[in-house]
Structure formats: C-alpha cells, structure tokens
Structure 1
Amino acid sequence: MKSRFTKFHNLPELMSMFRLVADIQTADMLKFPVPRLEGDKASVVVSDSSPYQEQMMDEFVERAEKIRNNKVDTKEDNMLKFTHEAKLMSIDHV
C-alpha cells in the first residue's frame, strides 16, 4: 500500500507560516526592465537544418521502425528514449 499527498489542510495557516520565512517579490515590485517584442508578440524564427540534424532524422526513422516492429529489445531502445533524444536534437542549434 502506498500513501501520497492529496490535499492541504488549513491552507490559510500554511500560507501565513510560509510568508514568515519567504521573501516574495512580484514582477511589479521588482520593476525590471522588460524588452519590447517586435510587433508586440513572439515570432518564430525558422532556420535550415544542419547536415548532422538531417543524418540524425534519417537514423530516427530507422529506429522508430525497428521499435514499432519489435525488432529491438525494449531495454536497449524504446519510444520514451527515442522521443527524448529526438526532442533534444530538435532544440540543438549546431
């Protein structure tokens, strides 16, 4: 049997105790300079993939097919590991 935390009891008291030891500062209180965005909204910057990224994408296709067809032991390679590595490669800007 496992026990886990499900909810707070006496939340107002807990918050008042937390405020005694925590130094809470909001963005309005700190008044840091915030740069303006061009056009007042975020923009997507698209760049060409590097040769390394293209090679890795080809390898990902092969790996995904092997995993899907159960041609590899799940202890060696699985979709969780695969998607994690693909995500890391997608944010790589070599």
Structure 2
Amino acid sequence: VQLSADILGLPFVRLQVHEAGSLGAAILAGVGAGRFGALREGIRAMVHRKDCFEPNLARKRLYDERFARYRTLASCMENAMREWNKPLMG
C-alpha cells in the first residue's frame, strides 16, 4: 500500500473491514431502509479507518524520473519489438 501511495503521491487509507463492497451495499441498504438519512451519514457511522499511508515525496520524485526514463526507452523500442513479434513464417 505504501508503494501505491508513493507512486501516485496520494494518501491511501486502509479500512478496518476487509469486504468494502459488502460494507458499501450495507450502507446503501441502510439509506434505503431509512436507517440513515443520507449516504454521508451512513458512511460516517459505518466506515472506520484502520490506518493511512502518506506518500513519501522523495520516493515519488524517484518513481516519476524512472517512469519518464521507461517511457523514453519504450518508445525507442517500439519498432524493434514490432519486428521481433512478427511470426517467423507467414
């Protein structure tokens, strides 16, 4: 999770629940049944953070530099790879 936060430069929040989709369905059902007046109310009542992974901005810069290098190399290799992937016998 830390790697994702570093690469994207965004904080990642991990929830206490493992089945986030089921929790979302339960919240929607609660809103539909009138248990919660609005979606935000259901979220506040039922979604609990376990922890938060803040991005390491020094690592983000490193990943951005490496990705730029990768894109340059990938574009240089495009024609060679197209040739390489042609069938040997046609």
TM over 0.5: no
**Structure richer in strand, relative to its length:** 2
**Structure richer in helix, relative to its length:** 2
Q: Which has the higher relative contact order, 1 or 2, with Cα contacts under 8 A spaced 6 or more apart?
A: 2
**TM-score (normalised: structure 1):** 0.29
Higher Cα Rg, which structure: 1
